[in-house]
Structure 1
Amino acid sequence: MGLNPILLVFIIFTISIVYVTLSTVRMILMMKGYRYLAAALSVLEVIINILGLGLVLENISQIQNLISYAAGFGAGIIVGSVIEDKLTLGYVTASVVSPENSDKLSKQLREKGYGVTDWETNGHEGKRRSLQILTPKKHELKLYQTIKELEPQAFVVANDSKTIHGGFWIRTIKRGRLFNS
């Protein structure tokens, strides 16, 4: 190909990072229901991957190119995971079981802007309070920290929420008023 060997190693490394990062973003988009955007991104992803592999295979006798591609793949996983943390698309539903059968935790969370549905439940050791809390994924860690501060003994399980419809809280989010007070 005639490229400077050091430049070629750098190009292969960069292409590999971009390919793996795009792959990670594509998977996130698919999981969140953005099928068409994910499909469009996959076209770009394949083109970039073929370019990178082509450079490696064209210069297969130079081991540094193969190592560069593999190292770029590993670095791409790290970059992709950082981007995944930054994208934080969607919502999380947290199910919380409070050891106290009181609406104190529910009220405190509502005052902080969270949408909370609560009800009395029965646990192994008697009456408890169950809460269901919906929050944007970008506020997930803040929610966990808040629960831990307010009710350290609470049991928390969280899941990504794919479909949401209705409720006063969704209108609050759409108007941009969550956590702004």
Structure 2
Amino acid sequence: MLENAYIMVAIILIINIVYVSFFTIRMILTLKGRRYIAALVSTVEVVVYIVGLGLVLDNLNEIQNVIAYALGYGIGVVVGSIIEEKMALGYITVNVISSNPDIEFTRKLREKGYGVTSWLAYGMEGDRLSMQILTPRKYELRLYESIKQLDPKAFIIAYEPKQIHGGFWVKQVRKGRLLNPRQVGQKKKAPDQSNE
């Protein structure tokens, strides 16, 4: 009987970890506009939820089952967030202000395949180079490393854009050309395309 109690606790714990992980993934997919995949994930999610909750409600007098359910929920949140980081869906916009107004900064980032729009700015202590960089989230950390190599004191702010439209860079990403040095810059832009 004791062995069955341990098995029940393990099953409830695992079921809730799986359920909350699916819940997190479904929420991310919904926020990213992937509604059909989110609907498919939610179908699996609700089945797992019903099974787990049913096990707990059938054995509500066993406190270890309730504790396992609660622990599974907490662990599921952590696992779900790790999965979301690994999926790295969508894009991120990074605003950078460098105390080095040298335009070479932007050229070096463009050579690595990033979409960079830059302009000269003026800060409290003089001229600055201001840049707006768009990148898929999976390259976010690599971008930060590149910026810090070029200017360790650069001021960096990142946010997730809600909608992206136009520009030659988005087309390059869709064709899988981002961060492939041989293909970056090979195609000439049409005159009516923007530099973003």
**Bigger mean CA deviation after superposition, 88-97 or 58-67:** 58-67
Partner residue of 2:165? 165
In the other structure, the counterpart of 1:65 is 65
Shift of 1:40: 3.6
Aligned to 2:79: 79
Asked whether the equivalents of residues 32 and 90 of structure 2 are also in contact (C-alpha less than 8 Å), the reply is: yes
Calculate the aligned-residue CA RMSD, in Å. Answer: 1.6
Gaps spanning 5+ residues in structure 1: where? none
Moved over 6 A (4+): none
Deviation at 1:46, TM superposition (A): 2.7
For 1:147, the equivalent position in structure 2 comes to: 147
> Hey, what's the Cα distance between the residues in 1 that align with 2:163 and 2:78?
29
The equivalent of 1:93 in structure 2 is 93
Alpha-carbon separation, structure 2, partners of 1:145 and 1:94 = 13
Equivalence for 2:19:
19
Q: Which amino acid aligns with 1:135?
A: T
Q: 2: CA distance between counterparts of 1:52 and 1:119?
A: 55
| SS of alignment partner, residue 4 of structure 1 | helix
Report the Cα distance in structure 1 between the residues aligned to 2:173 and 2:40, rounded to whole angstroms: 29
Matched residue SS, 1:118: strand
| CA deviation map 1:36-61 (0-9, x unaligned) | 33234334323322221121111011
Equivalent pairs, count: 179
**C-alpha distance in 2 between matches for 1:44 and 1:112:** 40
Alignment of 1:29-44 (within 5 A): 29-44=29-44
Residue 110 of structure 1 aligns with which residue?
110
Q: Quick one: distance in 1 between partners of 2:162 and 2:137?
A: 11
Query: Which stretch shows the higher mean deviation, 26-35 or 37-46?
Result: 37-46
Please give the TM-score of this superposition, normalised by the length of structure 2.
0.85
Q: Secondary structure at the match of 1:161?
A: coil
Q: Structure 2: state its 5+ residue gaps.
A: 182-196
Asked if the contact 2:112–2:180 (Cα under 8 Å) also holds between the matched residues in 1, the reply is no
Identity %: 53
Mapped partners of 1:139, 1:121: distance in 2: 26
Which residue is 2:131 aligned to? Answer: 131
TM-score, with structure 1 as normaliser: 0.92
C-alpha offsets along residues 117-136 of structure 1, whole Å, 9 cap, x if unaligned?
10111212222111010111
Tell me the equivalent position of 1:53: 53
